[in-house]
Structure 1
Amino acid sequence: MEVRAPLKTPKAFLDRFVMEKSEWIEMASAEARKRHEKRQAFILKDGCSLLYMGEKLPLVCCELKKPLFDEECFYIPDRFAEEKIKEAVVKLYRSEAKRVLNEKVHYYAEQMHARPTSVKINNARTRWGSCSGKNSLNFSWKLIMAPESAIDYVVIHELAHTFEHNHSAAFWNIVAAFIPDYKMQQSILKELGILLSTQNWEV
């Protein structure tokens, strides 16, 4: 365990802090170990379920030439090894994320009279989306796993940043005007984030 504190913090203070928080530290450490174990055990195989826009869809390994997604199933060639399956699924996810998010950005940009300069899909692990100073929008491909309402929220959130590059009251007023239940969508995304922390999607 590592404790970080200002350079001149007395050691006695740190020792007391660790002792007082020992129960919480142990619980947090146990949870972290569980997440790590689940990540290590995470594999994709025939018959498992994959999230797509909030719905659980089956992964089907069968005889075909190349991976395919039809909004009902993820189809993967049965000759693919475990790591190859993951690579194929991620590629399908990224393709869908690019399609769906470009459509969403185009739709909401018109509604909000926003002018994003570009839309990119990335592999971000801790952020669902971001907006650069030049109004370029970036989204994690994992966002395609979220329910459509949560996807809409992230798109609206980032488009709102093209007007307000902050999280001021003015910014949240813009968001609320287009998605009044945005706090509920934040909770949904938080739960999805916890789930994804137990899954290893690195390829």
Structure 2
Amino acid sequence: MTTPTIEPLRPLPEVRRFLAGRRSRPAKTLRAPAPDRAALERILEVALRVPDHGKLEPWRLVVLGGAALQRLGALAEARAAEIAPDKAPKLAAQFRDAPLVVAVVAAPEPSEAIPEIEQTLSAGALCLALLNAAHAEGWGANWLTGAVAYDEAFLRGGLGLEPSQWVAGFVVIGTEGAVPPERPRPDLARIIRWVDR
């Protein structure tokens, strides 16, 4: 049996430039067309390469398009009337106006070895990996949540999730309609503490 050859890591300046310029695109500026199924599968294949302690795969993906987005927009508006009345139009538009949404569902697995918090962090990592993979393929993307991401009626009735599941993020993907301005970034001196001993 031959051992596969693994190339040593080397600097990748083009990847560093990409990451240094990473910027979410506001969801309201994303338009059709969205990636087709083959293009989206390429994005998802890359995005799923996230840390996953114990190989539990504690997440699921629900790809939402077309009539499903209109249905969920109506449901979001109805649920918002009860849970966040001032946000109803925004929550409805989050679905109705989106070209494509990938719901990243946190689906923790029972495990004595892997705490649920680690599984939750893996779902968050998947949201960011999905953004980066979409951007790397030339699509605009944004990670949203909102009140319906935590609303039992929306999660069960709208997405068919199990009681232990919840939405870590609704990732909107589409064609960029406007280039967003750069925003201030964190001041490293303010947020980093170096400990040498």
TM-score by length of 2: 0.28
Question: Which structure has the larger Rg?
Answer: 1
Taking CA–CA contacts closer than 8 Å with sequence separation of 6 or more, which of the two structures ends up with the larger relative contact order?
2
Q: Which has the higher helix share?
A: 1
